[in-house]
Amino acid sequence: MKVEDIRTVAIVGAGLMGHGIAQEFALAGYDVRMQDLTEQNIQQAMVSIRANLERLVGLGLISPQQAEVTPGRIRTSTQLDEIASEADLVIEAVFENLEVKQDIFRQLDELCPEHSILASNTSAILPSKLAIVTKRPERVLVVHYWNPPYLMPLVEIVRHPEVSDETVATVYELLLKMGKSPAIVQKEAAGFIGNRLQVALFREAISMVEKGIASPQDIDTVIKNGPGRRWAAAGIFEMVDTGGADLILSVCEYLIPDLENSNEMPPLLEKNVERGDLGIKTGKGFYEWTPEKAEALRHRIAQALVKIAQW
Q: Which residues are catalytic?
A: 123, 144, 156, 195
Q: Decide: residue 138, CB within 10 A, 0-12 exposed, 13-18 middle, 19+ buried.
A: middle
Please report which helix (H) or strand (E) contains residue 296, including its range: helix 291-309
- State whether residue 145 is helix, strand or coil: strand
Kindly report the CA angle at 158 between 45 and 90, in degrees rounded to 5? 40
Distances (CA, A) of 244 to 145, 235, 258: 32, 14, 22
**Gap between the Cα atoms of 239 and 241, Å rounded:** 5
Among the listed residues 76, 132, 73, 72, the one whose alpha carbon sits nearest the alpha carbon of residue 99: 132
**Gap between the Cα atoms of 137 and 117, Å rounded:** 10
Do 277 and 284 form a contact (C-beta atoms < 8 A)?
A: yes
- Beta carbons within 8 Å of 77's beta carbon, 6+ residues apart: 33, 34, 35, 42, 83
Distances (CA, A) of 83 to 24, 150, 233, 300: 17, 22, 39, 36
